[in-house]
Amino acid sequence: MEALIPLDFSTLRVIWWLLLGVLLIGFAVMDGFDLGLASVLLLVARTDTERRIAYNVIGPVWEGNQVWLILGGGAIFAAWPLLYAMSFSSFYLAMLLLLLALILRPICFQFRSKLQGARWRQTWDVLMCLCGVVASLVFGVAVGNVILGVPFDYEAATLRPVYHGSLPDLFTPFPLLCGLLALVMLAQHGSILLAWKTDGELARRARRWARIAGVLSALSFVVAGVWVAGLPGHVVSGGVAADAVATPLGKSVQVVDGAWLFNFARWPLFWLAPALGVLGALLAVALVGLRRKAWAFLASALSITGIILTFGLALYPFLLPSSLDPDVGLTIWDASASRLSLWLMLLATGVLLPVVIAYTAWVYRVMRGKVTEKNLDGHAY
């Protein structure tokens, strides 16, 4: 059967590494503005009417946006089973915290307007804001811990991955900086969308916070980059076969200061990714100030793309480095599913992903236009 597959194993692994990046970027751009808007809700929307408008900006689309998170999780589960097993066991408690935020968010949508009382609605508004902040922060903290390396190894008898850390160990200074970066990056994205889809005083406040968050995003990204330049990184020194059966054992990995920048020295075009991350955020700040909100939203999306690409390109070929035993860290060559599995999933993705994109485009076309107080009648949140 595998003889009929036109792509070799190593090529399929690189394709799925790229697809994983596409899905993560899709989630950050699409569902990111939902989380970002939620995180600044209490800052930009001050009256009940303004908050209802904000809810109705993202209310019709947030469920569709979360499809990208489901696709990303499914890709990790099916294409990178070792990565799924290790990351979900390592970040188990953090994942529960994230799931709590993601589950509570739709409850806020559904229950906020069930009663007219101000205290009732304010409680749900605070919870919605906390959901956006917590989810954004946890995503960034997870990325920061991957860069530092996760303390895991394997049980000798069963090769079961074993995590040797704890929840407080995840929230150290560098991961918290990455969490702050994720928070302000998505806050800018969500604020720009709110400014684009509304008018009046609400849009003015959204523009102001978009500019503040954009400057903080560019600044924190630069600080994180300087910090990474001095961190120890991992380099594969031998024992990896790009087309062999996946096993995390048998390779040699060296830990070298500044190694996460080696790929940028080897392939100078990679520097376009961090440049896009910084310049996209600053360009969005300028464009939202000029009230070119559609272009500002695109610039913000490009900034998110550049930041995520920087992370992926810096770690390549690693998916999950181990700080406890660097030799067992997971790379794209030793953490994938079988060649046949990758090929069959690639065929399915080639059919289903365009459908998801087409449907998403259609929904946003139907929902185009501004949300105003006049839209709050009928079935509005």
Do 330 and 244 form a contact (C-beta atoms < 8 A)?
A: no
Whole-angstrom Cα distance, residue 144 to residue 177?
8
* Token couple for 159: 């090769």
- pLDDT band with cut points at 50, 70 and 90 for residue 110: confident
pLDDT of 209 over the 90 cut: yes
Nearest Cα to Cα of residue 226 among 176, 181, 175, 261: 261
The strand pairing partners of 318, in sequence order, are: 331
How far is C-alpha 58 from the chain's CA centre?
A: 18
Torsion of CA 359, 30, 317, 90, to 10 degrees: -110
CA–CA separation, 311 and 225 (whole Å): 10
pLDDT for residue 333 is more than 80: yes
Residue 274's identity, in one-letter code, is P
Report d(CA 232, CA 147) in Å as an integer: 9
Minimum mean pLDDT among 12-16, 36-40, 90-94: which range?
Answer: 90-94
Confidence (pLDDT) at 7: 81
Tell me: the pLDDT tens digits for 169-195? 889 999 999 999 999 999 999 999 999
Q: Determine the Cα–Cα distance for residues 157 and 162; give it in Å rounded to an integer.
A: 12
More confident residue, 60 or 51: 51
Query: In the numeric block, which tokens belong to residue 130?
Result: 């906390």
Instruction: Tell me the pLDDT tens digit for each residue of 67-81.
Output: 888 888 888 888 998
Residue type, 167: L
Is residue 380 within 8 Å of 61, Cβ to Cβ? no
Q: Where are the domains of the chain?
A: 7-236+252-376
Interatomic CA distance for residues 50 and 28, integer angstroms: 25
Q: Provide the percentage of residues in the chain whose pLDDT is more than 90.
A: 50
Report helix, strand or coil for 21: helix
HEC per residue, 106-130: HHHHHHHHHCCCHHHHHHHHHHHHH
d(CA 68, CA 29): 10
The residues pairing with 152 across neighbouring beta strands, listed in sequence order, are: 163
Please answer whether residues 56 and 381 qualify as being in contact, where contact means their C-beta atoms are separated by less than 8 angstroms.
yes
Provide the pLDDT for residue 368.
81
Mean pLDDT of the chain: 89
**DSSP 8-state code for residue 237:** E
Residue 156: is its pLDDT beyond 80? Answer: no
**Tens of pLDDT, residues 213-268:** 999 999 999 999 999 999 999 999 887 777 777 777 888 999 999 999 999 999 99
The encoded tokens of residue 320 equal 């999950």
Look up residue 97 and give its DSSP letter. Answer: H
Closest CA to 247 of 258, 238, 239, 236: 239
Q: What tokens were used for 295?
A: 């272009």
Give the total residue count for the chain. 381
- Categorise residue 234: left if φ over 0, alpha if ψ from -120 to 50, beta otherwise: beta
What mean pLDDT comes out for the span 366-377? 77
d(CA 154, CA 323): 13
Q: State how far Cα 315 lies from the chain centre.
A: 16
Note the helical H segments in the chain.
9-30, 32-39, 41-44, 48-58, 62-65, 67-79, 81-90, 92-111, 118-148, 167-170, 173-197, 200-229, 262-266, 272-289, 293-315, 339-366
| 113 CB-near residues (< 8 Å, 6+ apart) | 52, 121, 381
Q: Return the pLDDT at 380.
A: 67
Label the pairing between strands 232-238 and 161-163: unpaired
pLDDT the model gives residue 240: 78
